[in-house]
Structure formats: structure tokens, C-alpha cells
Chain A
């Protein structure tokens, strides 16, 4: 509850800060202060200190899972602000409004992480999506940015309409929006309920950019300003997966036989298309977009397996993936040339940044001793525990091997190619934050319990 109210209020504060504060550094510091406040109040709520007592009628429940996920998201967003807040100045003149929209998105994320009613799911998804349409098109003079926001808007509202149709069917079959009542509804599973569940599955798969509903993702990430593409590919994608797993765990947990095969097919398709297409990309930004589709395939394992391991694994995966991708996007944003060749000789001019980026890339590829390895391990273990569809696990390992190719291509460009990676300006804060990101990635890879411990106590 703390995070929900503070994030909404702070969004409004940020809007007014654009009028009241003349200096951009002031706006930036205010945003960082707000995010620190969010993180601290959320951690306080985990230990039982709730500032706001609101009667929610059980529509929103801030349980351990939701609060823990929110903490991961706020921590990632804080790192994101340290790395990229300065680069938002390049996007356009409405500096304060970008932060306001980011706070509204965080408000929506707290909703989708803790919903118990389909109404809250719908509101949360829309509160996340509508500011994202604006952020995608925020580079007003850039044709690609305009076009990306248009595509995102049309496909996004279409998928929202599909989701609403699904909710309407579920309501028609059970007469309620509350997950507890939907599960308890008597009688056999009706065709109406299955139709509603399938429509919800499709629309959530769209939001999480799961193949074959991924077509918007590469275009939108490519067209959007790089700072916001980074936010969308990490924090928002993590939120849509949390909503996805909550929906199918709470509402349709009893109907697992009906959807498990669907999930297996979607997982395999996502892994295949994401990894194979990423191999052929020439632009690093587009490669990262396809890599986010491929990583979504691994996150789909948690939905396919849906057991304790899967939930733990998803939380670890979200943390590992967000950290690494935010780091790589932040470095990419500093480059003037987004192709692989633009990174030639980067290790010579910026050894510290190149080393941190390499650790992030190794984590995404799933090399041992990094967080990416353990999170993939958790996912595959959860899938093996279901004792079904072992081919899926083998296929995932093969696809992880394919992903090594395009991640290592970037490392090769940085270390083993002669080139003139342009001298880029970085502040000491940026450099040290990158080192912290790399250190966190390794720390989580060696001691994942440091993170998961918080989940239980």
C-alpha cells in the first residue's frame, strides 16, 4: 500500500517540479529521492510498517510475493535512474514529465503485482501501457519514434480489447472478478470459462511479447528512444510476467491441464524465434530487442511449470535479467553508432565499462558464476520437476547455446577488433554504477540466497 500511494503522489509532484524547479539536476535529484522513498517504504512494509490503512475489500493484497517483487523493481528502477536519467535530456524538452510518467508506470506495476480482482489487473495493465505509449513517442521529431508509438498503441489497445473480452467471458461463466470466488465457483469447467481463459492467455502473451504475439516488440524497442526502450524491455516486461504468473496461479491454477500444453508450445516458439532472429541482427539495439524476446522464453518456463521453484526462479530471473539488460542498454545509449562495428575497440578506450558490459552479457548468455546461469538453472529445474515434456528442457539448453553466439559477438567486437569506438563522455557516477551492477550480477550468481532469503523472512 505504501508504494502504491507514494508512487502515484510522487508522479504528480514530478509534474509540478517541471514548473517550480528551473534546473534539470534538481528535477533529477527529486526523482531519485522519490524512488529511494518508494524503496524504503516498501521494505518497511515488508517488515510490517504500513503508513496508509485503506479498506481494499480484498481486491488488492500486498502479500510477500508482491512486496518482494516491488522491491526488486524499485531497486532496478533506482539503478536505471542513476545510469540513464542524464540521457533523458537528449530525448526532448519535457524532462520532468518523463519522470512523472515513469512514476505512474511504477504505480501501475504495484497494481499488477498485487491484484486479486480482474478489475485491478485491467486497471494496472492500462496504467502501465498508456504512459508507455507516450514515452515511446516522446522523441517528437524522430519519424521512427512516432511510428513505433503508433504501432504500439494500435496493437496494445487491440490486445487490451481481447483481454477485456476474456474478462467478460470469465465473468459470464463465474459471476465474479475476484480470484478466490472464481476458483471456488462450483460445477465443471464450462466452455465459456475456457474461452475467457484462452483470450486472457493471448492478451497477456502479447503484453509479455511471447511468440507469436511478439511482432510489436522489436519495432517498438528499436523506434523508442534508447533510454525508454531500456525501461520497457526490463522493468515493464518483468511486471507483465508477474501479472501473467499471478493470473494463472491464482485464477486458473485448477485448470492446469487445460493450459499447460499451450504454455509449452508458446515457450518453445518464443525460444526458437527470439534466439534465431537475434543471430541475424546488425544493430545492437535490435539484437537486444530480440534477446528480450528470447529471455521471455526462459521466463515462460515459470508459467509452464508453476510450482514453488518456478516462482522463486522467476523472481531471481527478473532481478538478473533486469540488472544485466539495464547495464547494457545504458552503455549502448552512450554510443553514437548502434551497430556491432560501433563497439570495435571499446575495451581500449573504456576498459572499466567494457569489463562491466562483458559481465552483463555473460550473465544474459547464462555463463556460470553469473546470476543469469543460476536463474536459468532454477527455471529448468522447475520444468524438470513437472516430469513431463523433457524435450522442452533440452530444446531450451540448445537455444541458450545459440544465444551465446550473438552475445559473444559484442564481446568480440569490444576486445578483439581494432577500431575507433568514439571517445564517450561518462561521469564517475555512471562508471561506478556500472561497476556496482556488474558486482551485483556476480554476487547474485554466487549467493542467490542473499536475494531469495528476503522472500521468506
Chain B
């Protein structure tokens, strides 16, 4: 662990963040979009842990925050899946293009 410089890990988290953003904006399948959001949240988790370890060692603030994020993300995913199931019941599809009852 000590051999890896901070820039490598920050590069990983930034890459994950933008992969997630790309997925959210281009994919049309709701489950994939949900996965993209989870990807963004996990990139934030990596950020917290790496800042804690390299910049502010000695306290555990960043790692505790990560645990809160994981918990909240689970709650959010549970609600998201429920909404997707509900949408599937009414539209018979989980493609966002089919949910165009209202225009932007």
C-alpha cells in the first residue's frame, strides 16, 4: 500500500466518477443508470478514504463518512428499485425513453 502514490488512486476515483457520469447520461436502461449512480458514489468513497490516509492520517473522519455513504446508498437503491418495479408494472418496460408522459 505504501508504494502507491496518491495521484494514482485519485486518478482511479476521478475515472470512476466520469465513467459513472457517462453511463448516467448515455444509458437508457434504468438498472444501468442506477449502477452508474452507485459507481459515482463509490468513487466518492475512494476519495474520502484516500484523503484520510494520505492527507489527514491520525483521525478516522473520512472513513466514518464512507460508512454513512454506503448505508444511505443502500437505502436509496432500495427505494430506486421499488420505483423501477412500479414503473415496470405500468409501462411494461424499464427504458427511460418509454416514460415520456411529461415533456421536460
Interface residues on A, range: 35 or more
Cβ-defined partner of B61 (8 Å) among A148, A149, A171 = A171
Nearest CB of chain B from residue A249's CB, rounded to whole Å = 22
Are A164 and B79 in contact (CB-based, < 8 A)?
A: no
Hey, which chain A residues are within 8 Å of B61, CB to CB?
A: 171, 175-177
Task: Decide yes or no: A223 and B44 within 8 Å by CB, A130-B76, A150-B87 being known contacts.
Answer: no
Bound together, the chains give a CA A176 to CA B20 distance in angstroms of 27
Are A147 and B102 in contact (CB-based, < 8 A)?
A: yes
Are B102 and A223 in contact (CB-based, < 8 A)?
A: yes
Q: Which of B24, B72, B96 has the most CB of A within 10 A?
A: B72
Within 8 A of A (CB), among B24-83: 24, 30, 33, 37, 40-41, 43-44, 47-48, 51-52, 55-56, 59, 61-62, 64-65, 68-69, 72, 75-76, 79-80, 82-83
Nearest CB of chain B from residue A53's CB, rounded to whole Å = 24
| Minimum CB distance partner of A169 in chain B | B47
Encode contact with B along A202-229: 1 for CB under 8 Å, 0 otherwise. 0000000000000100010011000000
Encode contact with A along B2-31: 1 for CB under 8 Å, 0 otherwise. 000000000000000100100010000010
Give the tally of cross-chain contacts (CB within 8 A).
108
Task: Decide yes or no: A126 and B62 within 8 Å by CB, A147-B101, A164-B44, A219-B104 being known contacts.
Answer: no
Cβ-defined partner of B24 (8 Å) among A137, A158, A167, A169 = A158
A140 at the interface (CB under 8 A from B): yes
Which secondary structure dominates chain B's binding surface? helix
Are A141 and B90 in contact (CB-based, < 8 A)?
A: yes
Encode contact with B along A151-178: 1 for CB under 8 Å, 0 otherwise. 0011001101100110111011001110
**How many residues of chain B have a CB within 8 Å of chain A?**
42
| Minimum CB distance partner of B64 in chain A | A119
Bound together, the chains give a CA A169 to CA B62 distance in angstroms of 11
Q: Give the 10 A-B residue pairs with the shortest CB-CB distance, closest first.
A: A175-B56, A172-B51, A161-B40, A168-B47, A164-B44, A147-B99, A147-B101, A144-B101, A143-B101, A126-B72
20 chain-A/chain-B pairs, Cβ below 8 angstroms: A123-B72, A126-B76, A130-B75, A130-B76, A137-B86, A141-B90, A144-B102, A147-B101, A150-B99, A157-B76, A158-B37, A158-B40, A165-B40, A171-B48, A171-B52, A172-B55, A175-B55, A175-B61, A177-B65, A223-B101
User: Given A147-B100, A150-B96, list of 10 further CB < 8 A pairs?
Assistant: A119-B65, A122-B65, A122-B69, A146-B86, A150-B84, A153-B76, A157-B76, A167-B65, A175-B59, A223-B102
